[in-house]
Amino acid sequence: METGQGEWTPERVAALRRRLGLSQAGLARLLGVRQQTVSEWETGLHRPRGASARLLWLVAEERAPYDAGGGAG
């Protein structure tokens, strides 16, 4: 399995969060980070890296089949 391409820009983090229908606090809980961390990613103060970046890719990849209307059925 290949991870997503590119890096996590503030716009990509915010877009994923909105697509998931989560607040910053909700995304933080999902990823096991602080809400402040998500805020810092979205404002560009810091960028997700390491395990956090990998978790974002996993969440984004897991969500993609549902966004595209795919899946079993």
pLDDT of the residue at 5: 58
Whole-angstrom Cα distance, residue 55 to residue 61? 10
pLDDT of the residue at 64: 65
Instruction: List per-residue pLDDT tens for the chain, 73 residues long.
Output: 344 557 999 999 999 999 999 999 999 999 999 999 999 999 999 999 999 999 999 999 987 655 555 444 4
Q: Are 45 and 5 in contact (CB under 8 A)?
A: no
Residue 34, both tokens: 């602080």
Q: How many CB atoms lie within 10 A of CB 13?
A: 24
Q: Which domains does the chain have, with CATH numbers?
A: 10-63 (1.10.260.40)
Angle at 14 between CA 8 and CA 16, to 5 degrees: 75
Q: Which of helix, strand or coil describes residue 17? A: helix
